[in-house]
Amino acid sequence: MATTDATVRAALGKVAELPATLGTSGAKATIAKERLILFIGLGVAVLLGVVSGLNAAGILNTPVSPGEALGANPAIDFLVLALIAAIGPFGFAETARLRRITKIEERLPDFLRDVAEAGRFGMTLPDAIIVASRGRYGLLTEEIKKMASQLEWGVPVATALDLFEKRVPSPLVQRVVSIITRANEAGGNVADVLTMVAHDTREAQTQLHARQISMLTYVTVIYIAFFVFLVTIYIMAAVFLPQMVVAGQGIASSSLGSAGAVTLSFSIVPALFLAFLIAVIVHAVGDGIMAGVLFTGKIPEGFQHATIMLATGWAIMRFVVPPLNV
């Protein structure tokens, strides 16, 4: 009687767990979360953009850094914050999702080899997947256990594989699932097919890792060039441009300046500093997106790098580089 009660409780537990394993609610929740982050970020960006426009029009004067001249500076400050709000949260969230998928893909060849080994002992594909689900595959383990639970409840293997493909949307998983499904429908020795698919998958991942390692050098160069640019601006703002202002003021108050024989337009120095700030913003966004595309081939990764560069460059220009006022 106790054994029967335990069996019933176990069956009820599986029934309660079944809707979560049969559906793709996890993938939909992830996508919805990222879209929600994108929409919230865009909404905040619009509000900050409105504040930037009001500062540019002279309706508001809300300087972020004390001591900076009003007018264009607050407008650019809030424009930078709007860019960060628009691309930053979405870039980090989407990059985290893509890296999770990448970690799942890294353990996929191990799972395929285990399924192939189980199939060589005469097991069918569903039974081989159930046996292989007892192994450890990192982040892939949870997805495999969901698929095994579906198979234990009589879900066709093609349907279970299709649901797995929807939960882990990536070209590699789609290709693997398509090959396994067709091989199982065609009959024959599925274990050999799984072994070849595992080998090809591992080769593709090895090539991808080699490409990322080679591209890491270029990403490092982009970061170094950007920070060298910031250091150059700091040196000019701290040493060269103040001396230019002092020299211009001295010439203007001397007899040469009064006679018009020698002039030095030191009044354009604040405008030059503003041009430096705009250049930092353009370089941060452009270089960041380029770094992400070079490293992974995906723009969300570029949004992440662009956010890091933009926030760092803006903070250095606003709070480290001395302001230049005439």
Last residue of a domain, one of 186, 203, 220: 203
* CA dist., res. 21 & res. 171, Å (int): 22
Helix, strand or coil for residue 23? coil
Residue with the larger pLDDT of the pair 300 and 16: 300
Question: Is residue 174 located within the same domain as residue 136?
Answer: yes
State yes or no: pLDDT of 87 exceeds 90: yes
Beta-carbon contacts of 182 under 8 Å, excluding residues fewer than 6 positions away, are none
The residue ranking higher by pLDDT, 179 or 240, is 179
Q: Averaged over 229-253, what is the pLDDT?
A: 76
Query: What token pair was written down for 323?
Result: 């302001």
pLDDT value of position 251: 60
Decide which of 178, 203, 228 is a domain's last residue: 203
> Each residue of 174-208: b (16+ CB within 10 Å) or e?
eebbebbbebbeeeeebbebbbebbebbbeebeeb
**pLDDT at 54 (0 to 100):** 85
**DSSP H or E segment with residue 280:** helix 269-296
Q: Where are the alpha helices (DSSP H) in 25-139?
A: 25-56, 72-119, 125-132
Residues 185, 79: one domain? yes
Looking at the structure, tell me whether residues 185 and 226 fall in a common domain.
Answer: no
On whether residue 325 sits in a domain, the answer given is no
Q: What's the confidence (pLDDT) of residue 24?
A: 40
How far is the C-alpha of 250 from the C-alpha of 272, rounded, in Å? Answer: 20
Same domain (yes/no): 138, 197: yes
- Segment 104-125 mean pLDDT: 86
Q: Is the pLDDT of residue 10 over 80?
A: no
Q: Please say whether the beta carbons of 320 and 234 come within 8 A.
A: yes
Is residue 69 situated within a structural domain? yes
Q: How many domains does the chain have?
A: 2
Residue 5 pLDDT > 90, yes or no? no
pLDDT in tens, 194-217: 888 888 888 888 888 888 888 999
Q: Give me the percent of the chain exceeding a pLDDT of 90.
A: 20
- For residues 144 and 255, membership in a common domain is answered with no
Q: What is the pLDDT of residue 14?
A: 41
Top-ranked range on mean pLDDT: pick from 231-235, 236-240, 245-249: 231-235
- Do 26 and 156 sit in the same domain of this protein? yes
Same domain for 166 and 314: no
Q: Which of 31-35, 135-139, 295-299 has the weakest average pLDDT?
A: 31-35
Q: Are residues 216 and 194 in the same domain?
A: no
Are residues 169 and 246 both part of a single domain?
Answer: no
In a domain, 326, yes or no: no
- 73, pLDDT greater than 90: no
pLDDT for residue 248 is more than 70: no
Last residue of a domain, one of 169, 203, 237: 203
d(CA 273, CA 207): 45
Residues in the chain: 326
Cβ atoms of residues 103 and 138 within 8 Å: yes
Q: How distant, in Å, are the alpha carbons of 34, 48, 92, 176, 306 from that of 300? A: 11, 22, 8, 25, 10
| Residues of the chain above pLDDT 70, percent | 78
pLDDT digits (tens, 9 = 90+) for 280-313: 999 999 999 999 998 888 888 899 999 999 999 9
**pLDDT tier at 47 (50, 70, 90 boundaries)?**
very high
Poorest-pLDDT segment among 19-28, 175-184, 271-280, 295-304: 19-28
Cβ neighbors of 8 (< 8 A, separation 6 or more) are none
Residue numbers of the domain that contains 218: 208-319
Is 324 domain-assigned? no
Instruction: Based on the fold, state whether residues 29 and 70 are members of the same structural domain.
Output: yes
Alpha-carbon gap, residue 306 to 92, rounded angstroms: 11
The angle, 0 to 180 degrees and rounded to 10, between the axes of the packed helices 190-235 and 299-319 is: 20
Residue 67 lies in a domain: yes
Q: How confident is the model at residue 18 (pLDDT cuts 50, 70, 90)?
A: very low
Query: Over 70: is that where the pLDDT of 27 sits?
Result: no
Confidence of residue 34 (pLDDT cuts 50, 70, 90): confident
Q: What is the pLDDT of the chain when averaged over all its residues?
A: 79
pLDDT bracket for residue 218 (50, 70, 90): very high
| pLDDT for the residue 267 | 63
State the pLDDT at residue 253.
61
